[in-house]
Amino acid sequence: MNAVWRVVVIAFGLIVAAGAGLVFLVSALASADFGEAGPEIIAQFALFAWLFTFFSAEQGLDPASMLGLLIASLIIVPVAMPGALVAILAEAFGWRSLTLYMTANAALGALAAAAAGLYDVMNLDQTAPAATPVESRAVLVMAATGGVVGLVYWLVAGRKASGFLNRPALNSPPPGP
């Protein structure tokens, strides 16, 4: 029964943390402090969403459901997936550190932004042009969003991580002398 309750707490913590991360991400993009990057990212998303729904309607698919799928996937990938990955690993090994939750989620959030093409992480030879301030701000916002997700998850569920991979099996013999 304890394991079932822990799964419920983990799921609830992930839902609350993803919601907090989404609120933070949207407010950061809409903020005037973010500069010109927020409206540019929102405009690029709107253009992509319009093209996505146009071509899905051309294929005979329901445009509204495809747009909902697109929006849900764009919420889940940068906000919820890094938090879920860190939560699963931390729960499995019993890691309870707030610093771990925040830094791991921030790093994964920045990597999600880089994987989405917002920033060229592998520009080691400096042949490509340097990142624009818009790209740098987008990666910083994604890293900060990951930090918020990590903090909220730790507050809800992370402080009591069980570490089921670290516990000895119940049927194993006791250690020898």
Residue ranges of domains in the chain: 2-35+78-122+129-160
Amino acid at 20: A
Calculate mean pLDDT across residues 72-98.
79
Question: Given pLDDT bands bounded at 50, 70 and 90, which one contains residue 126?
Answer: low
pTM: 0.69
Can you say how many angstroms the Cα of residue 67 is from the centroid of all Cα atoms in its chain? 20
pLDDT at 36: 65
pLDDT of the residue at 1: 60
